[in-house]
Amino acid sequence: MSAKNITILFLILGLAYSINTAFAQTMTSGTYKIQSDSLNFGGNRSTSTTYSIEDTAGEIATGESQSSLFKMKAGYQQMQETILSVTAAADVTMSPAIGGITGGTANGSTSFTVTTDNPAGYTVTIKASSSPALSSALDSFADYSAPASNPDYSFSVSSSASAFAFSPEGTDIAASFKDNGATCNTGSGNTADACWAGLSTSPQTIVNRTSANHTSGTLTTLKFRAQSGSAHVQVAGTYVATTTITLLPL
């Protein structure tokens, strides 16, 4: 069979994510984070069938100030634009080709870097355009049985089956893909070529960052693996998987 191709599509939501800015303290709990609050003596939210407005009264030192190097928009109603960007991940050609009768394993990888000045961070999800994700006109590889919420530490396929899986690597990968050297979804390690999951047509979280990284950005590598067992017959052909990576601000 010819090498497997994986097309990576990016969907970035919230490029101009806005955060209300105020002279006050950021408050957090185990579930929520109030990024900006306001100290004032009045204000309200008013709505109609067409419009909505939020107003405040009693704030001081509000307005726009700037110098040759910086610009400040002070006050609860001043909107702060937050930058959220990602580099394009290249399509993946997996290798080597897998023998239709003898079986074998093919690997491939791609990477992307996310940069943001959003102090709340971001999340990244991945989903497949079809199920099974990796298929040809006549046959397909089964989506690996482990979900992203509880990956397998070691990739394992029986001799009579074939399967296709992925594994993210990087400093900001979701907690479920971190490991303790033997088990995934526990510990803080990021062992190379470990913690494998199957793709789904529903979004699965692969990256979760809770702070800004605008000085350098953060690299994430996506690894893919397809395997056909020695007693499994895989129909010859070119197999293709199309995935969508979605980047969302927190």
Give me the pLDDT at residue 229, please: 96
> Which tokens sit at 163?
């399967």
Unique residue bearing structure tokens 């709990």: 29
- The rounded average pLDDT for each run of 10 residues, N- to C-terminus, in the chain (250 residues) is 51 37 54 64 77 72 76 65 86 92 94 91 95 94 97 97 97 97 96 97 96 90 96 93 92
Burial 45-75 (b: 16+ CB within 10 A, else e): eeeeeeeeeeebeebeebeeeeeeeeeeeeb
Give the H/E segment covering residue 244: strand 240-249
What the block records as the tokens of 109 is: 């990888």
pTM to 2 decimals?
A: 0.74
DSSP string, 165-210: EEEEEETTB-GGG-BSSS-BSSSSB--TT--BB---SS-EEEEEE-
| DSSP run (H or E) holding 74 | strand 71-74
- Torsion angle (degrees, nearest 10) of CA 141, 147, 152, 154: 30
Query: Rounded to whole angstroms, how far apart are CA atoms 168 and 225?
Result: 12
pLDDT for residue 94: 92
- Report the distance separating Cα 169 and Cα 222, nearest Å: 6
Question: 134 in helix, strand or coil?
Answer: strand
C-alpha closest to that of 10 among 213, 225, 247, 172: 247
Q: Can you give the pLDDT at residue 21? A: 34
Rounded to whole angstroms, the Cα distance separating 40 from 45 reads 14
In this structure, the strands spanning 122-128 and 204-209 are antiparallel
